[in-house]
Amino acid sequence: MHTRQSGAAHVPIMFFILVLVLFLGAVGWAYSVANTNAEQVQALANAKADMQTMAGKQLLFTHYVEDLGRVIELPGKYEGRGTVYSGATLDGVTGVISPADLKKRMDSFSKALGLSDAKGIEGLCSAAVALVNDKLQREKDIGGERDMALADKVAVEKSFGEATSEHTKKASEWSQALEQAKAEYTASLSQKDTNISALTSSVRDTNDQLNVAKEAAAAEKKVLSNDIGKLKMHNSALTSKDKLRSPMAVVDGKIIVAKAGVTAAFINLGRKDMLQPGTIFRVLNKNSTVVKAYATVVRVEQDKAEVTLSEVRDPLTDAVREGDELYNELFSANGANKRTIYLMGRFSYPYNKDQLAMLLKNLGNTVVQKMGPGVDTVLLGDDAINEAGDGFTSIADSQEYKEASALGVEFAPLRKIRDLLKL
């Protein structure tokens, strides 16, 4: 009986303990929930504050883009640097510009002004300002020089006016003296008899004839003096050039490597001799005057050059070989035989004047547009068409041919050197 009562007494205590535990758990859970809610409320408040800050920054950035766009005035589109913006764009924001377009415009502006590459707008503006200041300073300097020139002009005009006034005064005095002398001379003449008048008339006629003769002699002397001057100038030029250049028939070079049946060969001329690609040489045996082939320069080295052989006269029994000599009337080693050339007459395709001038200049010669002293070679073309257009006028009858003959220049008909000027 006692045991059963004791067990019944323990049941309320266990129940109380269980209820107490549940209560304490509920209180703990409520406290935890309350703390969690408080943290979430604070986090929400912080998030709202961050969102307001971000919205302010976004608005500030939008205003910055719009104001910057108004200053630059170069509307465009900005795609960003990739796909890290979660689909966000700047579409609809006024003033957006394309950095690439702006950089392109800045580079174009810099290039148009002839400026070196500048970093950023500040560098570009500084370079442009420096360029403008330089231009302004140049204009200022030119203006100063112009003012000085104008001042000199005024001084000269003043001096000229004073000289003119003095000249007018002297001329007036001389005219008065002349009129007085004429009056005295007329009075004197009126006192002379018929014989003295006839003698005076004869003397006057003789004086007139003498004056005419003097004028003719002076004119002839002037012409002769001009001709002598031209001849002296030309002779001096020819003398100086003849000291340097070799006769046209002198060997210009030699074949140093050649093989029968092979069109490529080598010659002993190179860059040291001012040799140009495209130069054509006649190839002759040193014991013959017959052209055995032509050698065209295709590649130039310092001391030698490669040539292509063509029109070999006898490739079997007289092929081009080492030791054969090279000739070109318009070429000389080291440029010693370079000529001043004038093209006289009519030249037709393919050897028109422009083409010939280019070929001759490539050989180092000087081509002039006018016949005169200093010309030492005249390249003769065909006879010119006469004014009526129904015939030809001989070159030998032209004034420039006669002038060239008087100067003693060297004549070279195109037909005789045509093989050295192949296009």
Question: What pLDDT does residue 337 have?
Answer: 60
Last residue within a domain, chosen from 318, 336, 354: 336
Supply the mean pLDDT for the chain: 81
On whether both 325 and 342 belong to a single domain, the answer is: no
Q: How confident is the model at residue 35 (pLDDT cuts 50, 70, 90)?
A: confident
Q: Is residue 364 part of a domain?
A: yes
On whether both 369 and 412 belong to a single domain, the answer is: yes
On whether both 332 and 343 belong to a single domain, the answer is: no
pTM: 0.35
Whether pLDDT at 113 is above 80? no
Whether pLDDT at 378 is above 80? yes
On whether both 256 and 300 belong to a single domain, the answer is: yes
Q: Tell which wins on pLDDT, 421 or 402.
A: 402
On whether both 368 and 401 belong to a single domain, the answer is: yes
Per-residue model confidence as pLDDT tens digits over 182-229: 888 888 788 877 776 787 788 788 888 878 888 887 787 777 666 666
Q: Is residue 410 part of a domain?
A: yes
Whether cis (ω within 30° of 0) applies to the bond prior to 277 is no
**CA 254/CA 316 separation, integer angstroms:** 20
Question: What pLDDT does residue 265 have?
Answer: 96
Q: Is residue 48 part of a domain?
A: no
Q: Is residue 144 part of a domain?
A: no
Q: Is residue 71 part of a domain?
A: no
Domain count, the chain: 3
On whether both 272 and 331 belong to a single domain, the answer is: yes
Question: What pLDDT does residue 239 have?
Answer: 46
Last residue within a domain, chosen from 244, 276, 296: 244
Cβ(400)–Cβ(410) below 8 Å:
no
Question: What pLDDT does residue 213 have?
Answer: 81
Any idea what the CATH number is for the domain that residue 277 is in? Answer: 2.40.10.410
Question: What pLDDT does residue 349 have?
Answer: 79
Last residue within a domain, chosen from 193, 218, 244: 244
Q: Is residue 106 part of a domain?
A: no
On whether both 254 and 329 belong to a single domain, the answer is: yes
Any idea what the CATH number is for the domain that residue 401 is in? Answer: 3.40.50.10190
Per-residue model confidence as pLDDT tens digits over 312-368: 999 999 999 999 999 987 776 665 567 788 999 888 877 788 888 888 887 778 899
Which range of residues forms the domain containing residue 347? Answer: 338-423
On whether both 198 and 219 belong to a single domain, the answer is: yes
Question: What pLDDT does residue 229 have?
Answer: 60
On whether both 342 and 423 belong to a single domain, the answer is: yes
Q: Is residue 17 part of a domain?
A: no
On whether both 325 and 368 belong to a single domain, the answer is: no
Per-residue model confidence as pLDDT tens digits over 59-109: 777 787 778 777 777 787 777 776 667 777 777 777 788 787 877 888 887
On whether both 277 and 263 belong to a single domain, the answer is: yes
Q: Is residue 150 part of a domain?
A: no
Name which of 4-13, 250-259, 410-419 the model is least confident about.
4-13
Question: Strand 377-380 and strand 410-413: pairing?
Answer: parallel
On whether both 404 and 351 belong to a single domain, the answer is: yes
